[in-house]
Every structure is written in C-alpha cells, then in structure tokens.
Structure 1
Amino acid sequence: MKQLLAVLWLVVAPWTSAADFTEGKHYKTLTTPASATPEVVEYFSFYCPACFRFEPLASDLKQELPDDVFHRIHVDFLYYVDSKSRTRLPETALMLSKALAMAQAFDIEQEVSASIFERHFIARDKTKELGQLQADFADHGVTTERFMAAYDSFSINSKARLMQQATRNHNIRSVPTVVVNGRYEVIPNGLSGSKNIAEEYKKLVQYLLALPAE
C-alpha cells in the first residue's frame, strides 16, 4: 500500500519539467545500485551547523513525501573537537549515530534530533560524553536503564554500522547531502539563483524520484 501511495504521489505532485533540471548542475548520477523502492536519504551530522539550518527543509520533505520514503543517516566523519584545546573525540560520531538509531527505534526521532541540535547550536553545549545524550532522551521519557539497554544492543550497533557502510558506499564527503533512490545526489549550488530555493529543492527531489532507474 505504501509503495502504491509513493507511485501516486509521484504522478500527482506538481514538479518542474525535466528541462529545468540538468545533470551535472542540479544533480549527479552515482555508480551505486538504485534502491528497490523510492527513497530520499539525508546524510547529516549533529555537529554540522549547515545540517541544523537544513532541518526545516528536511522536515518539509519528510512531511510531504509518503511514509517510509524519507530517511536520515548520521555520518561518522564529524565529531567533537574542543574549541580551546583542540582535543578530538572521534568516538562521539558513533555515539550520535547510535543515538539517531535509538530515536528512530523509539519513534521519537524528530523530538530527540531537535533537542540535540538545539543543545549544540543554541545552548552551545556539544556532545562529548554519553550522559548528555541520556539527558536528551530522558526529556522525552526514556529512562537511563532503557537508554543503556538499547545503546548496547545488537540491533542499534548494527544500524550504526549500516549507516557507516552507506556513507562509504555513496562516497559522502560533506553534509548535508541528499541522495534520491540510491542513484542521484542533489547539488544544492545548482539552485543558488532560484528565488525560492526551498521550493525548488523540493521540486528537484520530486523530479529525481520520478527518474527511471538506470
């Protein structure tokens, strides 16, 4: 049923004609296999200020697309770096990937993501230890015991590893990056001259969803 809704959405959604979007300017075709079903994947990091600014558009995409089409993957190449001592904590990237996987499993992804982003870029308190994430989840009803049980579980560790694998398979080097149907990567700079970049971005995603798998 959800696959049928996805197809119907692609048919009725108003999108700009193919002539308005150009490969190499607005998107590039990847060598990775096409996804079996329609999907829009945002690669991002909670440590990325541009990803924080992208959140409203990401939220719009998720709401406007059919269920189970929009997904997010947390990358592992950005992590906590102390602004004064320059001490690096690369393990924090995995901590946050697991936090995203847990939030998705608990069906509180939007709420937890907002808490982490706001703490990082409004309160300026970036994640450097697990206790900060425990507090974020506690704000949304997850006890410390439940948090730790999930954090150490096989399923959450597996999901975090799959995020790492997808990041490498699609050669993601910067964030936020959006990949459509496993084959098409959006080039945001191609929309820089648009009067309404957010709307044009969404039209571009719709257009890429409708492209045939190659």
Structure 2
Amino acid sequence: MKTFIFALFTLLLAPLASAAPEFKEGVEYTVVKETASSKPEVTEFFSYICPHCYSFQPLMSKLEERVPEAQINKVPVPFLGRELGPILQRAYGAAVLLEVEDQLTPAIFDQIHRQKKTPGSMEEIKAIFVANGVEASAFDGVINSFALNGMVAQYDKATESFNVRGTPTIVVKGKYELNMGEIGSEERFYRVVEYLLAAD
C-alpha cells in the first residue's frame, strides 16, 4: 500500500517538475530593473577594444537571425581603452548615423584584434571609415555633430543606469542581465535570451 501511495505521489509531482523554469534568477540571469520594456529587445554593452566583445560578435549575429522579432541594440561604453574609449564610442555612433555600422563594426574589430593595429586617434578612426567607402567630408560632418553628441549622452546614461562595469554585458527587455559565466554554451545563451524575451 505504501508503495502504491508513493508511486501515486510521484506521478502527481511529475507535472510540477516538468513545469519548473528552465533558467533561474540569480543563476543564468539577474533582475536589474523592476519593469521590463514593452517591446522585445536585447541590448549589448560593448567596446571595440574588448577581445571578448570581438569573439562575441558571431553569437550576436546568429541571435539576430534566431529572434528576428527582437530589436538588437548595441551600446558602446567609454571606460575601456583609457583616452581611446570615448573615441571608439563616438566612432560607433558615427557609423550608425552614416548607416554604415554593418561594415564599420567588423572592420574596426578586425583592425584592432586580428591585425593588431589599434587606432590611436580620431584621425586614424577616420582613415578606417574612408578605407571602407565613407567620404571624408561625410565623416567630418557627423563626428562632432549635435546628433552624435546626443547619442553619446544616451550611451553614457544607459551605461550608468545599468551600472555596467564590464563587457560584453547583455540586457534583455531592459530588465534582465545575463550572467554570462553561468550560461556555459552558445546554445544555452540563445535559449536564455529566448526564455527572457518571453518573460513578463
């Protein structure tokens, strides 16, 4: 009789076990804001100078293909690379304004991490833009523009708001920050993001 009761109890618990969440707060992710954004979005805080960010770009590209309904945002942080940090931050914003970010981000990453030729000034950044088809006058027109200054202010505000101190930092729906060290594999990274995109 006891065996039957134990078996019945086990069967009753089985649906509860299967309904347990695949990922847990405090393990794969941390709640960093009380309210999630109303739209599906994934934000990557990054720096061109960061080797982990360079290695991470193929995963972000695959993520974009895997969750086409989500808006993928990139926020360049200024605190890596000393004086170069703010320059690279402006470089990203300029690429966005000139609508060449898809070409320039791989080019800047490649020059820094594969070619080992880190640009040391805005003039050297400009040379990368020109080498990738951007008119010098177009670059000059945006690099110190009011629009770019506003974008940089927003980048800094977001970095401070989420207390970002390392890169890459991934935030889903403006509420959940991934604990990258706990995720363990590329496939789990995608699944955690998908899970959080579906969360409240």
Where on the TM-score scale, by shorter chain, does this alignment land: which range?
0.7 to 0.9
Which letter maps to 1:131? E
Contact (CA 8 Å) 2:29, 2:179: kept in 1 or not?
yes
* TM superposition score normalised by structure 1: 0.80
Does 2:52 align with 1:45? no
Does 2:114 align with 1:122? yes
Shift, 1:32, TM fit: 5.7
**Structure 1 vs Structure 2 CA RMSD:** 1.6
What residue ranges of structure 1 are gaps of 5+ in the alignment? 1-16, 80-89
Does 2:134 align with 1:146? no
Does 2:83 align with 1:91? yes
> How do residues 76-87 of structure 1 correspond to structure 2 at under 5 angstroms?
76-79=78-81
Task: Give 1:205's aligned residue.
Answer: 193
Distance change (3 Å), C-alpha of 1:139 and 1:32 = farther
1:10-30 per-position Cα deviation (integer Å, ceiling 9, x unaligned): xxxxxxx76221111100001
Specify the SS of the correspondent of 1:20.
coil
Q: Which has the larger radius of gyration?
A: 2
Distance 1:135 1:68 in 2: 33
* Count of aligned pairs between the two proteins: 182
Distance 2:151 2:34 in 1: 20
The structure with the greater share of residues assigned to helix is 2
Shift, 1:117, TM fit: 0.7
Shift, 1:47, TM fit: 0.7
Does 2:31 align with 1:29? yes
Task: Give 1:4's aligned residue.
Answer: none
What residue ranges of structure 2 are gaps of 5+ in the alignment? 1-18
Distance 2:162 2:179 in 1: 14
* TM superposition score normalised by structure 2: 0.85
1:97-139 per-position Cα deviation (integer Å, ceiling 9, x unaligned): 1111121222221210111111111111112111221121112
Q: Percent identity?
A: 31
Distance 1:111 1:180 in 2: 25
